[in-house]
Structure 1
Amino acid sequence: TLYNTDGIHPSIEGSYLSAAMFYAAIYDKDPVLNSYSAGLETAMAGYLRRKANEVWMAYQN
Structure 2
Amino acid sequence: MIVGVFDTEDQACARLSESIDIMATIYADEAPAWDDLHATHHVKRVNHSELYATGERHVINTAS
TM-score w.r.t. the length of structure 2 is 0.26
Structure with the larger helix share: 1
TM-score w.r.t. the length of structure 1 is 0.27
Structure with the larger strand share: 2
